Chain A
Amino acid sequence: ETGVTQTPRHLVMGMTNKKSLKCEQHLGHNAMYWYKQSAKKPLELMFVYSLEERVENNSVPSRFSPECPNSSHLFLHLHTLQPEDSALYLCASSHAPIAGANVLTFGAGSRLTVL
């Protein structure tokens, strides 16, 4: 499969559960991102990994824990979430912005509902 793939596409969890979101890219990119998309709000950057090192952590609560085992895979581990964390979580990838802009390719997202 090509592009950026996210699983699961839909997730419902209770506030005490632990779950993980997975993202995989087959584009040869070396930077991967997690964005949060909530209704009527701008896309919020959560984390960026470049060459498997975290380069951005945008004041995200510790109940969200990212993991990047290699340049093709990115996880977002979730635990003790709050109902206000319900949103669409988008993964994206790009070349590292060494020269020029880092054009993002997005996955289709994981729709998370916290009960």
Chain B
Amino acid sequence: GENVEQHPSTLSVQEGDSAVIKCTYSDSASNYFPWYKQELGKRPQLIIDIRSNVGEKKDQRIAVTLNKTAKHFSLHITETQPEDSAVYFCAAGTTSGTYKYIFGTGTRLKVLA
């Protein structure tokens, strides 16, 4: 069945450094890729998303890149801060009327002060 692989499962970086989280999806029909951030004890919140008609999207310190040929997409966080510490989930879905997303297993990011 369809799945999304997410790596790494845990990531520790020094404050100010960059963090990269990678996902690979299997369903070639996927064309919408959101990223969610879940702080400890809180709800997952959408932080950025990308559609398959673009290769990169940026929002301040956060960027997402997509390689449709390789079925890879990545989250890049620059100049990390302690408040970036959270679990990040990638997901793959479609814009064709489906309710389903396939989620990755999550990456626990720790930003060390």
Whether B43 and A97, one on each chain, are in contact in the complex, defined by CB atoms closer than 8 angstroms, is no
CB distance from B69 to the nearest CB of A (A): 21
Whether B105 and A42, one on each chain, are in contact in the complex, defined by CB atoms closer than 8 angstroms, is yes
Whether B105 and A50, one on each chain, are in contact in the complex, defined by CB atoms closer than 8 angstroms, is no
CB distance from A114 to the nearest CB of B (A): 20
Cα distance A48–B97 when bound, in Å? 13
Determine, out of A13-21, A63-71, A76-84, A98-106, the stretch whose residues face the partner at the interface: A98-106
Whether B100 and A56, one on each chain, are in contact in the complex, defined by CB atoms closer than 8 angstroms, is yes
Residues of A near B73 (CB, < 8 A) are none
Residues of A near B103 (CB, < 8 A) are 42-43
- Given contacts A40-B9, A42-B103, A97-B97, whether A103 and B49 have CB atoms under 8 Å apart is yes
Residues of B near A55 (CB, < 8 A) are 99
Whether A101 and B105, one on each chain, are in contact in the complex, defined by CB atoms closer than 8 angstroms, is no
Chain A: interface secondary structure?
A: loop
Residues of A near B104 (CB, < 8 A) are 42
CB contact list, A43-77 vs B, under 8 A: 43, 45, 48, 50, 55-56
Residue-by-residue, is A1-45 near B (CB-CB < 8 Å gives 1, otherwise 0)?
A: 000100000000000000000000000000101000000111101
Asked whether any CB of chain B lies closer than 8 Å to the CB of A108, the reply is yes
- Given contacts A42-B104, A103-B34, whether A48 and B43 have CB atoms under 8 Å apart is no
Instruction: Find the A residue at minimum CB distance from B45.
Output: A106
Interface residues of B (CB under 8 A from A): 3-4, 9, 32, 34, 36, 41-46, 49, 51, 89, 91, 93-106
